[in-house]
Amino acid sequence: MNKAELTQRIKSQAEILGFYGCGIAKAERLDEEAEKLELWLSKGLQGGMHYMENHFEKRVDPRQLVPGAKSVISLMYNYFPEDDSPSNKTPKLARYAYGRDYHKVVKKKLKNFMQWINDEIGEIDGRCFVDSAPVMEREWAKRGGLGWLGKNTLLLSKQKGSYFFLAEIISDLELEYDHPIRDHCGTCTKCIDACPTDAISENGYILDASKCISYLTIELKTAIPEEFKDQMEGWMFGCDICQEVCPWNRFSTPHKEEDFLPSEDLINMEAWENISEEVFHTLFKGSPVKRTKYTGLKRNIDFITE
């Protein structure tokens, strides 16, 4: 089987497994991106996410994660909901967190993908990743032609918007590589203008994570600074504002993943201010919301409702 045939089989199987897109890039050091990351870190724009400073070379060179790697296969997995009521009433929940933890859902599919490769193509040296290792996933998806990095710093697709998870298989497979596409943000500044905390730089493409509502409600482990008191716009976990206003998300279509559906209890939940720890654990069993713990979610709810 030549590289073209092998590449086509990989992409066809990705579609069969339910992935939204598949792009392939050459495994090499991200020299230009490394310089940008170093500058971003030096300015402290990562806030309290000190883990971003760790394993720098692994973060910018996939061959440090998988010795002998030749290809980075980037995959998209849709999470855009048909019913987005939990994001439309205060306290609000980011759309990616309605159902089961995406790490578990997508990782299972990746393992099935790896097993298929080993069974159908042959044994490979490779590893799969879902936001769980120092991998610059948006940069690899960009190099694989799946989209461009928008002014809100998210990967954007003309056909599919931005409501999708990214995952990677880094392996020693020799494949045909895709090519990056051009930026289609143009003169649009909707995400910059809409961000209530001014987390996106004036000209876009740079995010001050320490001001981002997603950071403040998930990553920040201390009290939310009072300066953000009237700027949270009702978000208790994560934030979708820059995606909601992005014109390219008019092309988003509802996902077909049952594990991502919100439960009836979540849809009908009303008395958030009085949520107990018991209700929290029941409501968010197996959910990414568990990451913030009960105390963190209660902190967020109190901050936006008091």
> What number of other Cβ atoms are within 10 A of residue 112's Cβ?
13
Q: Are strands 235-237 and 92-93 parallel, antiparallel or unpaired?
A: parallel
Helix H or strand E encompassing 126: strand 126-129
- Distance CA(225)–CA(303), nearest Å, equals 10
Per this entry, what is the length of the chain? 306
Cis bond upstream, residue 91 (ω within 30) = yes
Q: Catalytic one among 83, 125, 131, 178?
A: 131
The answer to whether residue 208 is catalytic is: no
Angle at CA 76, nearest 5°, toward 70 and 78?
A: 170
> In sequence order, what are the beta bridge partners of 155?
149
- Distance CA(56)–CA(141), nearest Å, equals 19
Active site residues: 131
